[in-house]
A and B are shown apart, each in its own frame.
Chain A
Amino acid sequence: MANISKSDRTKEKRSEIAAKNRRELIAAGLKRRDLLKMGLLTSAGMLIPKSGLSARPLTSAGFAYDDTPQSRPTTPFVEEMPRLVEKTGSASQTILTGPPPQRTYNSLGGESRTVDHQVFNELPPQKYYEVHQRAFQAKAHREFSQPSTLWGYDGIFPGPLFKAYYGEPMLVRHWNDLPPDGQNGGFGLNSTTTHLHNGHTPQESDGYPCYFNDRGKFYDHHYPNVLAGYRSTHPNVDPRVGIPGDLKESMHTLWYHDHRFDYTSQNVYKGMAGMFNLFHKNGQFDGGDETMGFRLPSYPNYDVNMVFNDAVYDRQTDQLAFDLFNLDGILGDKMQVNGKVQPIFRVAPRRYRLRWLNMGPSRFYQFSILDPTNNSTRPVWQLSTDGNFLDRPVKVNGVRLSVAERTDVIVDFTGMAGRTFYIENRLEQTDGRGPTGNVLAAGQGTKVLQIVVDQPLQGTDQSVNFDTALASLPAGQPYFYGYPDMNTPVRVTRTFKFERNNGQWAVNGKFPNCLEPPRFTIQLNTAEKWIFQNNSGGWQHPIHMHFEEFQTTRINGRAPSASGIVEAGRKDVLRLEHNMQAEVYFRFRDFKGLLPMHCHNVVHEDHAMMVLLNIGDVGDLKTNP
């Protein structure tokens, strides 16, 4: 296979370079012992490859000009994968520190919000949560000499897991308790913006990148947890759910992260990310109970969130290292799941729902379940794209996730007691520009997580078995909600070209400006067609729109694929690959105000690959905003 031979050639070239460098170093009077002591040479005689965080060009000698940070080698699969910590809320607002929450912004009371809540009185919070953003210490691997300083929500990484319900509006108060200026450990800004990614959230609570929550202040986020269309196309109470809105707009696997203008990459990489599971009440549909509704494996025992990220820990200090002077995208040399380097996940011989999130900063993944006994791939049932269910699950050998994309899968370990599997990343990526396009053969990729089937089976697995359930489902009938209709006529078609001019990331040749009016205005309660274009064969961009999901209608002139690497479905991130043009359909409903649309390679995002836009009563017809 061409891709393998190319990979082999690359490895060969690297080892040639390493051997050459080694000869030069020894000629320069450095003893092999010195190099070993310095950790620059392995016992096998290879130089430690300097292909860590930086994506910058190498000198002819094969080294980066800069002191590219790299992590110390660590033994894989010795740490246990932590489960996310569920956030505790209260029905009483008395748990909140500071003044009681209110509709209007409360500057005098210490709040940094500058816009009133849109639907605070109509949908008053039923649950209150308080989060403290602060610095903390954590060790991602036991072989690190000391813990690294991170920043996180409630001082943990990943941040606490929210368990939210449709029809149960909530309020989350974020206190910025980050360290004072000059104590960021080398990167990160102590001014934040918390974005609920995929949420159908009014903009003042969504995490608009130009709204800042500065240190010492708080910001109240009001999440109404409504179904889209509740104030427009679907105002009547759906008796199946007990709330208005379009049931087909349900979403389930969301996440939240820092979105501070210019500093998102630094702050998220430093640990400011967590997940947010949104359920329907009473076990209905996706209700977290495998005996009811869609009968997906029960939360929390068999419904497991997994946050994937790559990182570099400076081997001199074992502190998390960030390349401050990179414009392209940064890659880590440690693969983490839920904050641990290459951990172990122990399961019982039954079905599990795994919620996978690529939290970035710049790496794309293609995950498969690897059976190491014969390097084969175990298929999984893919349930969703981003937070949103497909119309019915699809059996796939792998899923591709660019930054910020999510997917839920069912992995069946029934009858597999005693066996070991891996989650393997098979997508080749050598720098921050995006994957090369090569998919490595099973067993040739990077094992990110070890799965050991050594837990006892408790009771019976009552979750749905899609092998049989789908066989009895009439053709064309969705297993989940089905897709919302696209009957609302398109009011305007807008084209967005994602480009790089003199290293400046731009959309339609323009840059965002927090101080100017938004670039264009969408008319509330209308539909639009957007065309995303990438004319580059070198760069890829995960394009994210806030507040509303889209349905992809065309990719490069063809229908989006519904099997294999799934492109169809409702999404909030469009994986804009090499030389791709994608057409998507949006409806904009319920709330008004300022929003961003941007590249979610957070390094590109921080260097201006973003459009600031508006939803208003009267929209414009700009076709290339």
Chain B
Amino acid sequence: MKNISRRNVMALLGAAPLVGAVVARGETPKPAAGAAAAAAASRDRIRERHFPNVELVTHEGRKVRFYDDLIRGKIVVINFMYAKCEGICPGITTNLVKVQRMLGDRVGKDIFMYSFSLKPEQDTPQSLAEYAKMHKVGPGWQYLTGAPADLELLRRKLGFTDPDPLVDADKSNHIGNVRYGNEPMQLWAACPGMMKPEMILESIGWLAPGLSVMSAKGDRK
């Protein structure tokens, strides 16, 4: 840690995007001018805390940025897996494939599904493409790998962790939850990946229009 740069220290403290603001404003931010400004401010805070703009590679070999290309302005469904996982992954993938079928052509249009690799050192774009093909994953659902440190950062930022370090280190027993979010609406929630696909779909519907059978919310403007 001797060669730690000032930038890295800021990143470590998670304060980087705010340093300028804090110093300039002397820690007395002015009340937001209006609802739109307040919404923008809180949306920025979520991005700063949880959405590092790391570079990733899709199973189709495309280079993407996590925030810019995968999250910003989108409704997303997220899980973590690895291609050779024989534990919980196949079950969750099967489940999510059913969700994808129910979502139909909205996947890739206004709802995006992402699976992030827990073992990026093994999971090449090609092996992820094979995994996707084997599970009959449809278009609009992307499998992502990249630099191991970046995927580890993402895993932690998105809360796919266990507070017990021993449990957390055991990838064969990894977190099997599915997160869904509506980034511009600042709505984020999660459910077990093994929950019934109809209920996962319904849960996504509480933050995406036109899907929920229980709530009029999705259709309200």
Contact = CB atoms under 8 A, between A and B. Distances in A.
Interface of A: 24-25, 27-30, 37-40, 55-57, 59, 61, 63-69, 72, 112, 145-146, 149, 179, 181-187, 189-191, 210, 212, 214-217, 262-263, 314-317, 319, 321, 323-328, 431-433, 501-506, 511-516, 538, 606-608
B192 A181 contact: no
Interface-central residue, A63, A317, A323, by most chain B CB under 10 Å: A317
Contacts of B176: 501-504
Contacts of A505: 192
13 contacts: A37-B22, A40-B13, A57-B161, A57-B165, A61-B1, A189-B206, A191-B206, A314-B45, A324-B46, A502-B87, A502-B175, A515-B198, A516-B196
B58 to A, nearest CB: 22
A212 B189 contact: no
B174 to A, nearest CB: 7
Contacts of B42: 184-186, 319
A324 to B, nearest CB: 4
A513 B198 contact: yes
B160 interface: yes
B44 to A, nearest CB: 10
B163 A57 contact: yes
B35 to A, nearest CB: 5
Given A145-B28, A214-B217, A513 B196 contact: yes
Contacts of A325: 50, 157-159, 179, 188
Contact of A328 (B41, B163, B194, B199): B163
Interface string B178-221: 01000011111111111110110011001100000111110010
Interface string B28-48: 110100010011011101101
Contacts of A66: 14, 49-50, 156-157
Given A39-B22, A182-B184, A515-B196, 8 more contacts: A146-B29, A181-B185, A186-B42, A187-B188, A214-B220, A325-B50, A511-B199, A514-B199
Contacts of B185: 181-182, 184
Contacts of A146: 29, 31
B86 interface: no
Interface of B: 1-2, 4-6, 8-9, 12-15, 18-19, 21-23, 27-29, 31, 35, 38-39, 41-43, 45-46, 48-50, 87-88, 153, 156-165, 168, 173-177, 179, 184-196, 198-199, 202-203, 206-207, 213-217, 220
A505 B193 CA distance: 11
Contact of A608 (B23, B28, B195): B195
Contact of B159 (A63, A190, A314, A326): A326
Nearest to B19: A38
B163 A38 contact: no
A514 B212 CA distance: 12
Contacts of A185: 38-39, 42, 186
A186 B23 contact: no
Nearest to B29: A317
Q: Which 10 A-B pairs have the closest CB atoms?
A: A67-B14, A325-B159, A186-B42, A503-B175, A502-B176, A504-B192, A65-B156, A324-B188, A513-B199, A511-B195
Contact of B203 (A187, A262, A316): A262
A316 B163 contact: no
Contacts of B87: 502
B29 A145 contact: yes
B214 A608 contact: no
A182 B42 CA distance: 10
Contact of A28 (B4, B196, B206): B4
A204 to B, nearest CB: 15
Nearest to A187: B186
B215 A191 contact: yes
Contacts of A215: 217, 220
A606 B177 CA distance: 12
* Chain A interface helix/strand/loop/mixed: loop
Contacts of A607: 177, 190-192
A275 to B, nearest CB: 27
Given A214-B217, A502-B88, A179 B35 contact: yes
A183 B43 CA distance: 10
Contacts of A431: 163
Most buried by B among A55, A66, A515, A538: A66
A498 B38 CA distance: 40
Contacts of A321: 45
Contacts of B19: 38
A67 B173 CA distance: 26
A145 B27 contact: yes
Contacts of A538: 164
Contacts of B159: 56, 323-327
B45 A327 contact: no
Nearest to A265: B189
Nearest to B161: A56
Of B21, B39, B87, which is in contact with the most chain A CB atoms at under 10 Å from its CB?
Answer: B39
Given A214-B216, A325-B157, A432-B163, A503 B22 contact: no
B218 to A, nearest CB: 10
A67 B15 contact: yes
Contacts of B12: 59, 61, 63
A66 to B, nearest CB: 6
A355 B31 CA distance: 36
A79 B194 CA distance: 47
Given A503-B162, A515-B202, A516-B196, A263 B189 contact: yes
A328 B191 CA distance: 13
A24 B189 CA distance: 36
Contacts of B158: 325
Nearest to B26: A37
B88 to A, nearest CB: 5
Contacts of B203: 262
A216 B216 CA distance: 11
A210 B177 contact: no
A439 B165 CA distance: 24
Contact of B45 (A28, A56, A186): A186
A607 B165 CA distance: 21
Nearest to B209: A181
B38 A149 contact: yes
B198 A186 contact: no
A436 B168 CA distance: 19
Nearest to A501: B176
Contacts of A29: 6
A149 B42 CA distance: 11
Contacts of B179: 325
A491 to B, nearest CB: 29
Contact of A606 (B2, B5, B189, B202): B189
Contacts of B157: 65-66, 325
A25 B156 CA distance: 23
Contacts of A327: 159, 175, 177, 190
A202 to B, nearest CB: 20
Contacts of B214: 210, 212, 514-515
